[in-house]
Amino acid sequence: MVRHRAFLLGLAALVLTPAAGAGPLQALSNGGLPEIRVVSDRADLVSGGDALVQVVLPGRVAPSTVRVLVDGRDVTSAFAVRPDGAFEGLVTGLADGANDLMATMRNGPTVHLTVTNHPNGGPIFAGAQVQPWLCKTVAGFPTATDAQCNGAAVVSYQYMDAASHTFKVYDPAAPPAAAQIASTTTDAGVTVPYIIRSEHGAMDRGLYDVTVLANPDAAWAPWAPQPGWNHKVLYQFGGGTAPWHTNGAPQNDVIDLALSRGFMVANNNLNIRGDDGNDVVSAESLLMLKEHIAETYGAIQYTMGTGCSGGSIQQQVIAADYPGLLDGIQPNCSFQDSWTTANEVNDCHLLRHYFGAAGNGFTAAQQAAAMGTKDTSVCLFWDLSFAPVGIPSRVQNCNLQGTPLASAVYNPVTNPRGVRCDIQDYQAAIWGLRPEDDFARSPFANVGVQYGLGALASGAISPEQFVALNQGVGGTDIDLNFTAARSQPDSIAQAIAHRTGQVTQGTQLANVPIIDLRGSHNFNDIHTDYHSYVMRARLDAANGGHGNQLIWTWDGSIFGIGPPASVAAKSFLTMDAWITAIQADTRDVPQAQKVLDDKPGSAVDECFVGATLTETTNAAACAAAFPYYADSRLVAGSPWTDNAMQCALKPLSRSDYSATFTDDQWTRLQAAFPNGVCDWSAPPEGFQPSVPWLTFATGPGGTPVGASPESHPGPPKQ
């Protein structure tokens, strides 16, 4: 069985690499020295006080002669030769911080491994946790026993009723008759009663759910898992964007499509972006829950992501910035990342303010031309739904309304040092604070953006309208108040945005298969189609192609933005086959090459037309059925990578325009752009390659986590 056991330093990236567990009598390639391995996680990223540990022994050493100690405490009794031949044990009672794990043996040297444990409540690498934090009580989940929301996990069972094919409560003390319980055959060919076990627990100050086929009367150990689990995990990510200062319920993991085939389904409420608008925290909670799964249930073969909207953001950002945590992703109703999507939100906010109720001389069609959208409804929906998330005094952003902590929320007059309920302050561990007021830095800026440039070039708006728009559009301040001046860039935040991958880059994404599920909906909704093609452009820019990304489209006005059941099943099964083929490929070639070479023949771009979901791979037919539009920055000249929080600037030049301006208009345009206009041929301000696997424990901006610790002979390393 494949084990995700170590992060290896390769080139500029740290990647979680699967490696086969070595048996106790296997000769080692390091000169025959014994080795201690943490097989449930990296040795320096362990959490919760326990770790699944393997001691790999040379053939001359008998397991019976080995003693294992943690800081002098004998834990040998936890170890044994397991069914797969590994000498392995679950080490518990680890102290927070560094622990010296030591193995002594006859006919071999003493070896040490430093295991760094982090609290179950976090953090590990996400940096300082936001405060205050309220542990809410959620029915069916543990009641918090401390300020980190920890509590004993709650286990319950359900069964699939054979007659109604619905899930019902299973009481182990009074089980239903066997004939009432349906059976299911997993994709490993194992037939079991269709009974599922749901574990509801607390981790990283959030609440998690792990659900899997299980026999309530049988034992389960990580080295002896029950046969109903196929060792695959479907991991859910949820939508929205909000800076909650509370925990909440995770998504329901009772998904028949996956469970009936033997998959485990899991998520933490911190993987719901409408609860936790911090993708680094989402990655951390994913890491922690995967470790718990490995230590409780057994080795994970692979982890497949799924999720819509904010759930798509997390999948794409985590796969790009924390490679190895996800082996394949299915972003649905997708956005390329949070912060360049926020450009669309903020620009819509500014444009709607400029146009006003009467249009300020622009018809509705002209407004849409400047916005880059089919009509003005997209900006309306963005402005009403997500622009308010940028208001720091809005208590509901923090989910603190009706709680004793509501009075702690920021108010610029009555509580200027209060809790700021906006995304950048929620992500202060990433961005750091502005020295002038200790508010979090923000990467948003719009200096030099020529709103409506494409509409001017096409003749949709006049030169006078173009000049007036760019004179009057203005910007916003850190509290989302409108300002006459444009929003000025913070150069530190610009660099952080790119280096940390908050603006996603495509390099690491080449290492995972991507099925982008796109319910086409270009009006009366925020989930417009062009975002899928922005990500495609980033893959092209980074890798010279996008063969690892499929886009599957259907009519969202008929079926909604979530995939119809047949499309969801096709995506799930295609992704399963794709990842399985990649893992079976033992060639010594780059992972990105395997992703391309091992793609199933049916894994191609396609669309599903009309109410009958008529399937076609004809690109022209799909383009005709499902056209896509843009945003205001693409209209302003941005390339389709759409990755500038702040563009580079160049001087105004009349020769750059096909339109003719009067001298008065040109003077006004010069006043609107005193420092120049966007030079889209140059990289964005602060652009640099993103650095995978950053830890923010050392402060904003992040530092690489470094190479994974390895065991060594002799005394413990200081």
Please spell the DSSP secondary structure of 571-612, one letter per residue: HHHHHHHHHHHHHH---SS-HHHHHHHT--TT-S-EEEETTT
Residue with tokens 């620009």: 347
536: three-class secondary structure by DSSP: helix
pLDDT at 13: 34
- The arithmetic mean of pLDDT across residues 695-717, rounded, is 94
Residue 161 lies in a domain: yes
13: three-class secondary structure by DSSP: strand
Q: Cα(257)–Cα(673) distance, rounded to whole angstroms?
A: 55
Task: Return phi, psi of residue 599, to 5°.
Answer: -70, 130
Task: Return phi, psi of residue 574, to 5°.
Answer: -65, -45
The H-assigned helical ranges of 252-372 are 256-259, 279-296, 310-321, 338-355, 364-371
Neighbours of 64 (CB within 10 A): 9
Neighbours of 146 (CB within 10 A): 12
CA nearest to 66, candidates 53, 52, 80: 80
Q: Which of 297, 327, 357 is the last residue of a domain?
A: 297
Could you give the count of Cα atoms lying within 13 Å of 682 in the half-sphere of its Cβ? 11
173-182: list long-range contacts, CB under 8 Å, 24+ apart.
Answer: 175/216
Sheet with strand 206-213: strands edge to edge: 167-170, 154-160, 195-203, 206-213, 264-268, 232-236, 302-308, 331-332, 514-520, 549-555, 606-609, 614-616
Stretch (H or E) spanning 48: none
108 & 164 share domain = no
Helix axes 663-672, 463-472, angle to 10 degrees: 30
pLDDT at 27: 38
- The arithmetic mean of pLDDT across residues 686-714, rounded, is 97
| Core vs surface per residue 164-176: b (16+ CB within 10 A) or e | eeebeebeeeebe
pLDDT at 717: 73
pLDDT at 7: 33
CA distances, 292 to each of 47, 207, 315, 476, 574 (Å): 9, 13, 20, 44, 28
CA nearest to 289, candidates 332, 234, 331: 234
Ramachandran bin of 567, using left for φ above 0, alpha for ψ from -120 to 50, beta for the remaining angles: alpha
134: three-class secondary structure by DSSP: strand
Neighbours of 656 (CB within 10 A): 12
Contact 606, 617 (CB under 8 A): yes
Peptide bond into 132 cis (omega under 30): yes
Chain segment 364-421, per-residue pLDDT in tens = 999 999 999 999 999 999 999 999 999 999 999 999 999 999 999 999 999 999 999 9
211: three-class secondary structure by DSSP: strand
> pLDDT tier at 20 (50, 70, 90 boundaries)?
very low
209 & 351 share domain = no
Q: Which domain holds residue 259?
A: 154-297
Q: Which residues contact 23 (CB under 8 A, 6 or more apart)?
A: 84, 85, 86
Residue 331 lies in a domain: no
344 & 228 share domain = no
Stretch (H or E) spanning 54: strand 51-56
Contact 194, 172 (CB under 8 A): no
Residue 392 lies in a domain: yes
Chain segment 239-286, per-residue pLDDT in tens = 999 999 999 999 999 999 999 999 999 999 999 999 999 999 999 999
Stretch (H or E) spanning 629: none
Q: Cα(23)–Cα(20) distance, rounded to whole angstroms?
A: 9
Contact 686, 646 (CB under 8 A): yes
Neighbours of 352 (CB within 10 A): 19
Task: Return phi, psi of residue 294, to 5°.
Answer: -65, -35
Residue 130 lies in a domain: no
Q: Is the pLDDT of residue 457 over 80?
A: yes
Token pair of 231, please? 């060792």
Q: Cα(559)–Cα(406) distance, rounded to whole angstroms?
A: 39
436 & 539 share domain = no
pLDDT at 532: 98
Q: Cα(122)–Cα(401) distance, rounded to whole angstroms?
A: 25
Dihedral over Cα of 473, 475, 480, 482: its sign:
negative
Stretch (H or E) spanning 267: strand 264-268
221 & 241 share domain = yes
CA nearest to 30, candidates 108, 98, 114, 104: 108
pLDDT at 111: 97
| pTM of full prediction above 0.75 | yes
> pLDDT tier at 714 (50, 70, 90 boundaries)?
confident
Work out the mean pLDDT of the chain and round it to a whole number: 95
Could you give the count of Cα atoms lying within 13 Å of 90 in the half-sphere of its Cβ? 17
- The arithmetic mean of pLDDT across residues 55-69, rounded, is 95
Residues linked to residue 37 through DSSP beta bridges, in sequence order: 54
Residue 570 lies in a domain: yes
Chain segment 180-215, per-residue pLDDT in tens = 999 999 999 999 999 999 999 999 999 999 999 999
Q: Is the pLDDT of residue 506 over 70?
A: yes
Q: Is the pLDDT of residue 5 over 80?
A: no
Residues linked to residue 518 through DSSP beta bridges, in sequence order: 553
13 & 50 share domain = yes
Q: Is the pLDDT of residue 6 over 90?
A: no
Q: Annotate 666-717 with DSSP letters as a single string.
A: HHHHHHH-TT-EE-TTSPPTT-----SSEE-TT-TT-EE--SPP--EESSPP
Single-letter code of the amino acid located at 421: C
Q: How many domains does the chain have?
A: 4
Residue 371 lies in a domain: yes
Provide the CA 310 distance to its chain's centre, in angstroms.
9
- The arithmetic mean of pLDDT across residues 35-63, rounded, is 97
171 & 80 share domain = no
| Core vs surface per residue 497-508: b (16+ CB within 10 A) or e | bbbbbbbbbbbb
Instruction: Give the number of residues written for the chain.
Output: 718
pLDDT at 718: 61
348 & 451 share domain = yes
230 & 266 share domain = yes
Residue 308 lies in a domain: no
Could you give the count of Cα atoms lying within 13 Å of 485 in the half-sphere of its Cβ? 7
283 & 159 share domain = yes
> pLDDT tier at 469 (50, 70, 90 boundaries)?
very high
CA nearest to 410, candidates 395, 399, 390, 428: 395
Q: Which residue has the higher pLDDT, 505 or 23?
A: 505
Q: Cα(38)–Cα(711) distance, rounded to whole angstroms?
A: 10
604 & 616 share domain = yes
- The arithmetic mean of pLDDT across residues 529-557, rounded, is 98
Q: Which residues contact 174 (CB under 8 A, 6 or more apart)?
A: none
Residue 327 lies in a domain: no
Single-letter code of the amino acid located at 315: Q
Q: Is the pLDDT of residue 23 over 50?
A: no
Contact 248, 277 (CB under 8 A): no
11: three-class secondary structure by DSSP: coil
> pLDDT tier at 123 (50, 70, 90 boundaries)?
very high
Q: Cα(187)–Cα(155) distance, rounded to whole angstroms?
A: 25
Token pair of 154, please? 């709650």
CA nearest to 111, candidates 33, 224, 213: 33
348 & 488 share domain = yes
Q: Is the pLDDT of residue 145 over 90?
A: yes
3-state helix, strand, coil in the chain (%, to 5): 30, 25, 50
CATH code at position 36:
2.60.40.10
665: three-class secondary structure by DSSP: helix
Q: Is the pLDDT of residue 113 over 70?
A: yes
Q: Is the pLDDT of residue 3 over 80?
A: no
